[in-house]
């Protein structure tokens, strides 16, 4: 009897000690206030709980009230310090490569690949960044991408006008994916040649991207991993096919990759290249289609904003010698109010609920210590919806940006990241949105049919879609 009681007591004491250590992590200073939640699970379930508000997520808002702008928690098994403080966020972004480095949870690394650009640092990261800029940088945007984006928008809108109704999120995602996939890998889906649709594998991937990381058949996360696996196999097969046909020069990303892989002493590996292609395809169409869908929903709900936006674009057309001329880079750069609308849309969209870094050593800031090895999550929604900076922060008011257009990141605007990891595709995203809106408001009108409700889990989604009817304007 006594041995059993002793073993039982030992187990209880051990568990109690483990729980106590979990709730009270070691720190060579003062930890930010907060709760570590349940052992191993932490507060992951609360973080992923869906909500239908466009306000600061309840998980963040409740803890801000309880603990202040900086607090600790645990997500998917990792201790995390969450910052909603603009000054601390700015400091963290500026310390890339010194006090912090880019980091995402193991589940995200599993999804995006071990060699994805977000997990790479220093020289290798800069190298890949320059590789992307060679295709999507300013010169390519001006000379090649602008006319391609305009042509795609015209074709797409003409198709929509011939249909009864269009589910906007799905339709814009298809449009952007086709454009980006053609530019990156010269991919065009032909059902006569292949039953495998690359786009469908990305859809499966996206449905589980921001979900509870439970890899069991039937779960969204499992479907996400399966979607990635199939998409990566297709990309690998395409790259191999291109390698066997060197005489075919498409002037796309595959060509850049094959040239780089042949260079003596190159740091690029096939795994890095494939992971980069995967991330670029995902980032280009999923985030931009969400932003465009929300933009049209907000313009539908705010006719005075739509009127001012339309006037700007109709003025551009009227000022041309030939009204049917193609859009120029100068005209794009003249879209002042459009830039304000886009900034306001992405401020409210908060498509990225958190930007992660990892402390490389103990960080002392504002009286607190962030221990080495801990994750740091900068929270864009809390910054973008801060009433101290944005009056009536939930109101769609593009005019608030007048005279303060933001082309980069700031302490109070980080829709495209911050610091040295500011998104290299930012201008490409803005070009796509501005050009699409230009084609839409100058030649078409639309009416909402159904849907448009949003859910955040914590990322933005339209569970019922947003269905619209598009028709050609009478000249």
Q: Indicate whether 228 pLDDT > 90.
A: no
pLDDT of residue 192: 41
Per-residue pLDDT of 349-395, as tens digits, reads 998 888 889 999 999 999 999 999 999 999 999 999 999 999 999 99
pLDDT of residue 191: 43
Residue-range domain boundaries for the chain: 1-472
CA separation for the pair 444, 441 (Å, rounded): 6
What are the two backbone dihedrals, phi and then psi, of residue 43, each rounded to the nearest 5 degrees? -115, 30
22 exposed, middle or buried (CB, 10 Å; 0-12, 13-18, 19+)? middle
Beta strands in 171-215 (DSSP E): none
423 assigned binding-site residue: yes
* pLDDT bracket for residue 207 (50, 70, 90): low
Find the DSSP H helices in 253-358. 253-262, 270-282, 288-301, 303-318, 329-333, 336-349
Instruction: Give this prediction's pTM.
Output: 0.87
1-472: CATH topology? Cytochrome p450 (1.10.630)
Per-residue pLDDT of 415-464, as tens digits, reads 887 766 667 778 888 999 999 999 999 999 999 999 999 999 888 889 99
Per the document, the length of the chain is: 475
Least confident of 17-31, 166-180, 225-239: 17-31
Per-residue pLDDT of 302-325, as tens digits, reads 999 999 999 999 999 999 888 888
Nearest alpha-carbon partner for 271 in 244, 225, 239: 239
Q: Indicate whether 249 pLDDT > 80.
A: no
């Amino acid at each position: 009897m006594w041995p059993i009681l002793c073993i039982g007591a030992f187990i209880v004491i051990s568990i109690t000690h483990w729980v106590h250590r979990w709730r009270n992590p070691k720190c060579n200073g003062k930890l930010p206030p907060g709760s570590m939640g349940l052992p191993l699970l932490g507060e992951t379930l609360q973080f992923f709980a869906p909500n239908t508000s466009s306000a600061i997520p309840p998980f963040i808002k409740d803890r801000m009230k309880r603990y202040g702008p900086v607090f600790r928690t645990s997500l998917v098994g990792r201790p995390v310090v969450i910052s909603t403080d603009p000054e601390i966020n700015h400091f963290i972004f500026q310390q890339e490569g010194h006090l912090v480095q880019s980091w995402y949870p193991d589940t995200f690394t599993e999804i995006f690949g071990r060699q994805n650009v977000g997990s790479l640092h220093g020289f290798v990261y800069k190298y890949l960044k320059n590789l992307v800029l060679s295709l999507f940088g300013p010169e390519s945007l001006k000379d090649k991408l602008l006319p391609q984006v305009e042509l795609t928008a015209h074709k797409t809108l003409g198709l929509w006008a011939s249909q009864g109704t269009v589910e906007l999120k799905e339709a814009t995602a298809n449009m952007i994916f086709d454009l980006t996939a053609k530019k990156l890998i010269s991919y065009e889906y032909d059902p006569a040649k292949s039953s495998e649709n690359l786009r469908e594998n990305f859809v499966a991937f996206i449905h589980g991207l921001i979900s509870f990381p439970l890899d069991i058949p039937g779960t969204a996360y499992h479907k996400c991993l399966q979607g990635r696996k199939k998409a990566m196999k297709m990309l690998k097969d395409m790259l191999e096919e291109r390698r066997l046909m060197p005489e075919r020069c498409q002037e796309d990303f595959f060509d850049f990759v094959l040239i780089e892989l042949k260079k003596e002493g190159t740091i690029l590996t096939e795994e890095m290249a494939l992971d980069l292609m995967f991330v670029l395809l995902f980032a280009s169409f999923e985030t931009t289609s969400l932003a465009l869908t929300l933009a049209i929903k907000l313009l539908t709900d705010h006719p005075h904003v739509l009127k001012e936006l339309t006037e700007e674009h109709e003025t551009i057309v009227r000022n041309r010698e030939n009204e049917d001329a193609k859009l120029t880079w100068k005209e794009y750069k003249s879209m002042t109010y459009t830039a304000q609308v886009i900034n306001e849309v992405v401020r409210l969209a908060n498509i990225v609920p958190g930007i992660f870094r990892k402390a490389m050593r103990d960080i002392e800031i504002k009286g607190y210590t962030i221990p080495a090895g801990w994750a740091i999550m900068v929270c864009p929604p809390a910054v973008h919806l801060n009433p101290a900076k944005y009056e009536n922060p939930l109101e769609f008011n593009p005019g608030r940006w007048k005279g303060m257009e933001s082309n980069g990141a700031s302490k109070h605007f980080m829709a495209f990241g911050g610091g040295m990891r500011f998104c290299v595709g930012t201008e490409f995203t803005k070009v796509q949105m501005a050009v699409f809106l230009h084609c839409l408001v100058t030649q078409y009108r639309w009416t909402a049919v159904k849907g448009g409700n949003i859910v955040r889990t914590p990322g933005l989604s339209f569970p019922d879609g947003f269905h619209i009817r598009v028709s050609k304007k009478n000249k």
